[in-house]
Amino acid sequence: MVDTRLEPISNIAFHLGIKADTLRRQYKKHESGFESWDQASHAQQYLTYPENLSRHLAIDEVSLSKGELYTILSSRDKKGRKGKMIACVASTKAEEIVKVLERLPLKERMKVKEVTLDMASTMIKATSMCFPNATLVADRFHLVKLISEAMQQVRIDQRWTEIDKENKAILYAHSKGRKHQHTILSNGDTLRQLLARSRYLLFKLPHQWTLDQQKRAVLLFKLYPNIKKAYDLHLAFRKIFNQKEGSKANIDLTLWITEATQSGIHYMAAAATSILHHKQRILAFFNNRATNAHAESLNAQIKLFRANLRGVKDTKFFLFRLSKIFA
């Protein structure tokens, strides 16, 4: 029986009764077209496909091999796989990205209307320079993730505080020749366990909580008001994106920034400052409700392809195969 976990070439080799490595070499050198690839000389530095330029773009970074990051510019107007990839740059530096993107025809770049991206300053700088007529839209999912991380950090800090208290209490009990007695809450958790087990409920909306999570949330918010305050700020930020009009969202966002800054929670105040820096790009979301989901989907497809190949051994050939699939 064929092992379905093997990559497709291995399956074909199995049926043909030949070694997989032999078939791979044959495909690479004679059947794939890799030897005559017109971008082979610079593939490991950059790839460009100007014919795939469209009015709505997405830009993001992805790890192709050994943790090395590549910046990929893609078209949000293309459906399926073909024609998605516009450029691939073996760098996340703004200067290197600009140098490659400027190889795309200026006339076509001037026609780009909208680019979705995360909050990385390098991406913002590169896209604003290369697509001067485009509106830059900050990805809402990255924004919500930032606020979620700030909220979770409040919980994590409190958990380490409880771990420190527990360790000191255990040492003190041992010094007195006694066994330390843990404080058990009404739901059966210790304080340390309560904070550890509350991680996932904080990501959810209250109506999504299970019965156990509801009980845990009541205890958590009663014992740690700062976590409740951070959670409420997190919910309020998510609700802003439910607004239909940019003008109303602008008012809500301004009020949220003020509230988070004055909350007394360092992580929320820091997140609010970041949100303030990206405010115009955040509000641009309400023009067309555009997100960077397209780029994230492309990244996921690339990672799946890499996983099916059991990693990347030949980067140039891997890029060639990516271009065949997505460009």
149 and 209 share a domain? yes
27 and 59 share a domain? no
Average pLDDT of the residues in 202-221: 96
Q: Would you give the DSSP letter of residue 88?
A: E
pLDDT at 14 over 70: no
Q: pTM value?
A: 0.84
For 319, the enclosing helix (H) or strand (E) is helix 315-326
Residue 90 belongs to domain spanning: 40-138+291-326
> Are residues 117 and 123 in contact, defined by beta-carbon separation less than 8 angstroms?
yes
258 and 146 share a domain? yes
Residues 6 or more apart in contact with residue 254 via CB below 8 angstroms: none
Rounded CA separation 162/157 (Å): 9
311 and 197 share a domain? no
Q: Is residue 324 helix, strand or coil?
A: helix
pLDDT at 117: 93
pLDDT at 18: 66
Q: How far is CA 182 from CA 157, 164, 169, 187, in A?
A: 20, 14, 9, 14
119 and 214 share a domain? no
270 and 146 share a domain? yes
246 and 152 share a domain? yes
Rounded CA separation 191/182 (Å): 9
The number of distinct structural domains making up the chain is 3
Joined together, the tokens standing for residue 258 give 């003020």
Q: How far is CA 120 from CA 41, 59, 90, in A?
A: 29, 11, 16
CATH of the domain at 319: 3.30.420
pLDDT at 6 over 60: no
Tens-digit pLDDT profile for residues 24-65: 666 666 666 777 788 888 988 999 999 999 999 999 998 877
pLDDT at 1: 37
Rounded CA separation 116/136 (Å): 6
157 and 266 share a domain? yes
198 and 280 share a domain? yes
pLDDT at 2 over 50: no
> Are residues 233 and 154 in contact, defined by beta-carbon separation less than 8 angstroms?
no
Identify the sign of the CA torsion 103, 106, 107, 111.
positive
Rounded CA separation 66/161 (Å): 36
Residues 6 or more apart in contact with residue 299 via CB below 8 angstroms: 60, 62, 72
199 and 272 share a domain? yes
| 179 dihedral zone (left: phi>0; alpha: psi -120 to 50; beta) | beta
For 129, the enclosing helix (H) or strand (E) is helix 121-130
Please tell me which of 169-173, 299-303, 311-315 the model is most confident about, judged by mean pLDDT: 169-173
Q: Environment class of residue 124 by beta-carbon count within 10 Å: exposed (0-12), middle (13-18) or buried (19+)?
A: buried
242 and 145 share a domain? yes
303 and 266 share a domain? no
Write down the residue that tokens 């795309």 correspond to.
104
pLDDT at 69: 87
Residue predicted with more confidence, 323 or 307: 323
